[in-house]
Amino acid sequence: MITMNEESLAFLGIRAVSNMIRRGDISSMEVTRILLDRIELLNPKMNAYILVLRNEALAEARLRDEESRRGKFSGLLHGIPVAIKDIIAIRGAKMTCGSKIMQNKVTSKDAAVVKKLRNAGAVILGKLNLHEFAYGVTSENPHYGPSLNPWDLSRITGGSSGGSGAAVAAGLCYAALGTDTGGSIRIPASLCGIVGLKPTFGVTSTSGVFPLSWSLDHVGALTRRVDDASIMFNAMRIRDSNASVLRSQRLDGKMNDNLEGKVIGVLEETFEGTNENVVTGVKAAVQIWEKAGFQMQDVSFPHLREARAAATIVLASEASAHHEQLLRQLENEYGEDVRSRLKMGLLFTGTEYVNAQRIRRMIKRNLTSLFKKVDAIVLPTTPIAAFHVGEKPVDSDGTTIDPRVLLTRFTSVFNLVGTPAISVPCGINPLGLPFGVQIVCKPFDESLILDIADVLESSLKCYLLKPPMA
């Protein structure tokens, strides 16, 4: 049996825990109980979970152990406890979407991605906190309280998958599902010091996920390690409908060695207006990749501002269209910030929406051209680290800036074009707050994006760092 302490076990990678379960060094029941006890101890301080499915998780872990005794292993996720953002359906459990309106809604079946995780042997621990209806980037939830950053409990986790980011960072699950419509996986990954992968649009199913924007929504995973992200991705992706384009993807979680000649483009223009500590961290990451043998090349993508504006219009219009009836019936049941965003979305005209889609096609063409010159591009995930809960707009050189606006500056464009993007930790600022670097590849190139991320992680080993709350 194991000799390590429970905290150490909680911060191991999925592959290591999976091997221990397979060897019989520990049972899924033991692992699940340890994490449930950690949740009971730490969640009151962090508010990462909205709902803990203790009895259900233990029953599922018992089943996994019975399967193990019969020699049946479903894969690397067999017996591994994970958690789900509360906008994704779990059979027989409430799906609040972080809202007052949905607080009593119980779903009758699993979302497609949850079903895939169960088929892969995962144990579901519970539902995670989020920004109301996933429409915000801070996870300051007026109905269930804000999710709090385990690096500093006075600060935001980012959003909308804030509970997912906090839970993974604090060792309250080995991986968490999130959704990403404008950066909602990558932003909390950056602010909580973990890995967040947004796959190519459509590669993971959104069936059973409450929609925010039908053309921008992505489902992905937040993890502590790149290898864990690979394992989760392979369990979640739609293999049957994407087999032809995904045949080169890893099937065993191992990293490819054939990276010779790969060119990474550096978007140095994104350094302007970005916190100096973040810039320093990203530049250090660039040096690591260069030393590893990648060809680094300065590139330009001068359409970020137009892309952000178009993404805002598309998101607001599609979200408001989905919520229109509920908004008219139950306007006062929404939190103030989400209500105002939805009402704003109703003001956009059809012409504005169509023009935004035209800009979207232009951005896609330009990005396709860029990927003919480079294999990947890198830039900061967020221009700042986590700020305080409730922090108001600040004055900077005579200009009033809402820090919330800053968080999507470098993320929303990649929802607009549907390319895969990952955030990987690349530093800690003098206040002890983490931040990440973002890697982007062309559609269906998740294998390369994970390999590039792994090279950086292998050098920095940020997964060894534990937040104070852990």
Token pair 């805002």: residue: 312
Q: How far is it, in rounded angstroms, from Cα 195 to Cα 109?
A: 28
The 10 Å Cβ neighbour count of residue 345 is 25
Q: How far is it, in rounded angstroms, from Cα 346 to Cα 336?
A: 16
Which strand (E) or helix (H) includes residue 8?
A: helix 6-10
Q: How far is it, in rounded angstroms, from Cα 277 to Cα 332?
A: 41
Active centre residues (catalytic) = 85, 160, 184
In this structure, what token pair is assigned to residue 46? 């962090």
Long-range contacts of 4-11 (CB under 8 A, 24+ apart): 6/34, 6/37, 6/38, 7/171, 7/470, 9/34, 10/34, 10/35, 10/38, 10/171, 10/172, 10/470, 11/171, 11/224, 11/463, 11/466, 11/470
Integer angstrom CA distances of residue 432 from 228, 429, 465: 24, 5, 11
Q: How far is it, in rounded angstroms, from Cα 369 to Cα 316?
A: 28
The 10 Å Cβ neighbour count of residue 359 is 18
Per-residue DSSP letter, 376: E
Asked whether the beta carbons of 234 and 267 are under 8 A apart, the reply is no
Point out which residues pair with 440 in neighbouring strands: 377, 421
In this structure, what token pair is assigned to residue 161? 């998958």
CA angle 116, 318, 367 (to 5 degrees): 75
In this structure, what token pair is assigned to residue 28? 């899924």
- Catalogue the E-assigned strands of 208-334: 218-223, 263-266, 295-298
Cα Dmax for the chain: 68
Helix, strand, coil: what percent of the chain each, to 5? Answer: 45, 15, 40
Which strand (E) or helix (H) includes residue 386?
A: none
CA angle 295, 191, 130 (to 5 degrees): 125
Q: Which residues of 392-423 are buried (b: 16+ CB within 10 A; e: fewer)?
A: eeeeeeeeeeebbebbbbbbbbbbbbbbbbbb
In this structure, what token pair is assigned to residue 121? 């042997």
